Structure 1
């Protein structure tokens, strides 16, 4: 044993490396290559299944959203008294019937605002004339199975595959019977789901996706020939009711893996949708198998090349060690101007790289002493920007817009134009405010937001509130940071006008003054005492956070100083029981501001 150790120590360094390489690296690489071939095949398949699982979750969420919207539309129609009044009226002429249809534009509104809906048809029992939406349910229609099922369900939602009355095309449709205020049967409602919406949801997926109704009929697949046929791939479905199922099947001459999700539509007690993705295992593995084959050849060539590389390594090893030693000597003497790297990425190259990083770290440590104040100021600015972003992102815009739109639609259905106008103005103002960033916006846009806000307040206070917006000059190209004026107007209404039972007035003026632009917000409210005004002015320039009614005014003042400089900001003047005036001073020339 001792003799063997001595022989190894006496070998050249290159021979030692070659022997260790063959024993420790070359042979294990061959075994690892075989293992990776088998392991990566399983990983590829599992990744494909995991990807389809994620995609099916997205499809399920989007499909459930679409079905829920159609269900909500049916609920609005079902609960609307206007339908009862329309179908229960007595009409002497055909023209009276057409006029009655025209006074009920709800179906047109739904088709206009919801692209999920292909069309809406109501099969009525009243013998009125038939148009594209209202169809008289004669004996032929009322004897059909789908119609009878809707009647038997007594208003319950049922999803079926139904032919559209006029085109004869088949669609997935929601059907339910509708009753009047006195529980009299009015007819059957049918809302058809747009095939284009299903295509939008499904066709971006890589693998073949099927949407099936009650395990009986395919309601969507990119292959139009399979629509509304029996899904024979469900023959291999395990006999259980799990929401998610994964099983292997031989489909159309190929071994596949099928990932299936179940979806229960909202408020539907008798229907279920199945969303299935077919993963072709053999097709999926064609490319990886080709890659693995090429990988074996690469491993073989790498082994051959590596043997030759060790010989070259032994030739350049000594020279590269000397380069590293020379660089270490320079750094030890305090000379940091060494080359960023040397050729090669082995241990010597890494050691040289670490040496270079050490020299740069020392240089950086010296520099940090001088730039510390700059970084601190930058941090303070970021804190201010974060505070502003928190003010303008309190509500989820998507949820707010949808809620306001739903309220406005209900107001339109109930023919309450005043409420609908108020909701439209509020939605416009909130959309404009919440979608803004902390970047400058046109002054005209900001004033338009203020005008909308004051219109809403005027609808609230009635004749108690009047306002004016005066602009002295053309400022269509002037940029201003958002939400500088609105907090001042809101403060004037809440703290100035609301406590005063008399008539209130707000005047907003935009006037140039030499090289400054002044934006003045004046009210004739309760005003402030001299002591209150003095305390408020002291608080404007404090750095610490404040709570209470002055937080909006202080933030306006601090943001102006932060972005425009200490020469600009907010000034406040007030007289008790006379009113308050808030003046924003900004630079008129914006050439060097942004």
Structure 2
């Protein structure tokens, strides 16, 4: 009897136990390696995010016209330099709000400038530096260099690029990476990690070494035996360490960086991975030796628990199938059944969210249809007997001609064209040229009205076959006149500039009027970014029409300085004739 029990029960359980032990061992090793991979991936992701923020700041500085004007101006008096610095605070703001930045050094060759926060004279010593000369030769492309700062005498990783304004070289920008931020990323690492530049220069490490180059040099023979491509490698260095190593290499790809390569390299002795696994296996052997006595009891408990979880899953599935999404958010256990339950929870949440989104879209679509009907009604009301209005204006114009008042006759003629264009306009796209002609007629009336007190210019470098929705330029120009030019003392000027930027069409309307206060500008920007109604009917209407027709990623962008003027930029997609409607956003 005992022998039968041993053969039937103990031997199969022992064999299964051995098999499970080996499986657990392999799974634990795989999980440990995956943990190391995830650790390095987290470090790479956080590191890329940090350097991307610095890249973004460098782009802002590169495109900052105020900074370009400041550093290229030749000053006659130090007080003028002081005043110019006092009016420009952007670099200090970058240092204040971006912890990733240690310092900013913008080196310019302007001897009339004095050094201040972020702006420094590029003397002969600076210009002779190899990194400075290479940055100039790259013509604005971004690179990463290890530089010893000429002020603090500390060494940091720097973003380096030359800066141009209107195709003219104005200086070299160096933004240092804050090492404390990088150290905070590495401090949670579960293994030894190096971050390298150009496959040879170690930048950062965990743990932190007093001499990182010496520490990194110990691993160079191991690293040189494998490719430097991204991936996992197992290698044995019997000459130096007499142990196995597991290497995990991750490439660091920084947006807009073509001249520098970085990698995150995890170096882990394989014995350290197996140490935890072996400890768990010893516990497993003890458990296997004890499982014979309690196997039946554990089986009963397992069946009862599993059955309860199955019933809970079944009940939750029935609720979801009947449209009731208020189910428990979790279930006991951590196995395939819990994964199925968690997927069910995620599915119910997704369905519930989609239903809410669909309802919201339906409400928005209904509101928009009501607004469209209201607009159509108003347009129909405004078009009552338009021929009578045109004939009346024509009669007035002819009378002005008989009275030899050609200026009044010209104004009435243009006004008649403007009114006809306004009444005939629909949401159908019109050519960019027609829209500009309509805007120029309005500007011509204002020119006749104000005489030499105003002037304007229209520059169009875009393609001739582009089409846009009508009446989006003239309301902005009218807004510039009413709120910017009319209250101004002195001559007013409006500049309209149309360019193609990648796949977008950018229409710029700039005036030298009284400008907008900071609080008022914040209020206008809030209105443009929200669905709220506002007293700013003109620009708010243009913003809504653009976003409804093209999508929320397009619209108006306003910059203004009180006392200096206002700059409004209209950004819409490029649409050619014959392709109208392809870029329209489906609501």
- Structure 2 distance, partners of 1:121, 1:38, is 58
Deviations 1:331-367 (A, max 9, x none): xxxxxxxxxxxxx565699699989x99x9xxx9xxx
The corresponding residue for 2:109 is 125
Deviations 1:150-177 (A, max 9, x none): 1222222110111233222221111112
Deviations 1:426-480 (A, max 9, x none): 776799x9xxxxxxxxxxxxxxxx9xx34xx22344899xxxxxxxxxxxxxxxx
**Alignment of 1:168 onto 2:153:** yes
Change in Cα spacing, 1:286 to 1:430, as seen in structure 2 (3 Å) is: farther
- Structure 2 distance, partners of 1:144, 1:296, is 65
- Structure 2 distance, partners of 1:39, 1:378, is 39
**Alignment of 1:458 onto 2:535:** yes
The corresponding residue for 2:247 is 258
Per-residue deviation at 1:53?
Answer: 2.2
**Alignment of 1:95 onto 2:72:** no
User: Greater CA radius of gyration, 1 or 2?
Assistant: 1
Question: Where do 1:220-235 residues align within 5 Å?
Answer: 220-225=204-209, 229=213, 231-232=216-217, 233-235=219-221
Per-residue deviation at 1:97?
Answer: 1.4
Asked whether the 8 Å contact 2:226–2:233 carries over to 1, the reply is: no
Change in Cα spacing, 1:417 to 1:219, as seen in structure 2 (3 Å) is: farther
What SS does the aligned partner of 1:154 have? coil
- Structure 2 distance, partners of 1:151, 1:298, is 68
Asked whether the 8 Å contact 2:527–2:540 carries over to 1, the reply is: no
- Structure 2 distance, partners of 1:142, 1:389, is 58
The structure 2 residue matched to 1:188, chosen from 172, 177, 183, is: 172
Asked whether the 8 Å contact 2:199–2:228 carries over to 1, the reply is: no
Per-residue deviation at 1:82?
Answer: 2.3
Change in Cα spacing, 1:35 to 1:182, as seen in structure 2 (3 Å) is: closer
Per-residue deviation at 1:31?
Answer: 3.7
The corresponding residue for 1:244 is 231
Change in Cα spacing, 1:240 to 1:290, as seen in structure 2 (3 Å) is: closer
- Structure 2 distance, partners of 1:57, 1:352, is 37
Please report the RMSD computed on the Cα atoms of aligned residues, expressed in angstroms: 4.8
- Structure 2 distance, partners of 1:95, 1:155, is 32
Q: Name the stretch that deviates more: 52-61 or 100-109.
A: 52-61
Change in Cα spacing, 1:462 to 1:242, as seen in structure 2 (3 Å) is: closer
The corresponding residue for 2:198 is 214
Asked whether the 8 Å contact 1:176–1:188 carries over to 2, the reply is: yes
Asked whether the 8 Å contact 1:215–1:234 carries over to 2, the reply is: no
Change in Cα spacing, 1:420 to 1:140, as seen in structure 2 (3 Å) is: same
Structure 1 unaligned regions, length at least 5: 1-14, 314-343, 395-410, 434-449, 465-489, 495-594
Deviations 1:257-308 (A, max 9, x none): 11001123222222111111223322232233233224334433445x46xx
Asked whether the 8 Å contact 2:107–2:119 carries over to 1, the reply is: yes
- Structure 2 distance, partners of 1:430, 1:69, is 26
Per-residue deviation at 1:209?
Answer: 2.2
Change in Cα spacing, 1:51 to 1:420, as seen in structure 2 (3 Å) is: farther
- Structure 2 distance, partners of 1:225, 1:389, is 53
Structure 2 unaligned regions, length at least 5: 328-349, 363-508, 549-587
Question: Where do 1:428-507 residues align within 5 Å?
Answer: 453-454=532-533, 457-461=534-538
Change in Cα spacing, 1:147 to 1:460, as seen in structure 2 (3 Å) is: same
Change in Cα spacing, 1:34 to 1:214, as seen in structure 2 (3 Å) is: same
The corresponding residue for 1:157 is 142
- Structure 2 distance, partners of 1:32, 1:378, is 41
What SS does the aligned partner of 2:162 have? strand
- Structure 1 distance, partners of 2:27, 2:305, is 38
- Structure 2 distance, partners of 1:253, 1:416, is 77
The corresponding residue for 2:259 is 270
The corresponding residue for 2:46 is 62
Change in Cα spacing, 1:390 to 1:67, as seen in structure 2 (3 Å) is: farther
- Structure 2 distance, partners of 1:165, 1:415, is 44
- Structure 1 distance, partners of 2:185, 2:302, is 52
What SS does the aligned partner of 1:115 have? coil
Number of residue pairs matched by the alignment? 365
Per-residue deviation at 1:116?
Answer: 1.9
What SS does the aligned partner of 1:205 have? coil
The corresponding residue for 1:136 is 121
- Structure 2 distance, partners of 1:66, 1:150, is 22
- Structure 2 distance, partners of 1:84, 1:162, is 24
- Structure 1 distance, partners of 2:54, 2:95, is 11
The corresponding residue for 1:285 is 274
Asked whether the 8 Å contact 1:130–1:136 carries over to 2, the reply is: yes
- Structure 2 distance, partners of 1:352, 1:228, is 54
Asked whether the 8 Å contact 1:67–1:265 carries over to 2, the reply is: yes
- Structure 2 distance, partners of 1:349, 1:78, is 65
- Structure 1 distance, partners of 2:539, 2:257, is 46
- Structure 2 distance, partners of 1:430, 1:254, is 64
What SS does the aligned partner of 1:458 have? coil
Per-residue deviation at 1:107?
Answer: 0.8
What SS does the aligned partner of 1:47 have? helix
Per-residue deviation at 1:422?
Answer: 7.4
- Structure 1 distance, partners of 2:97, 2:201, is 29
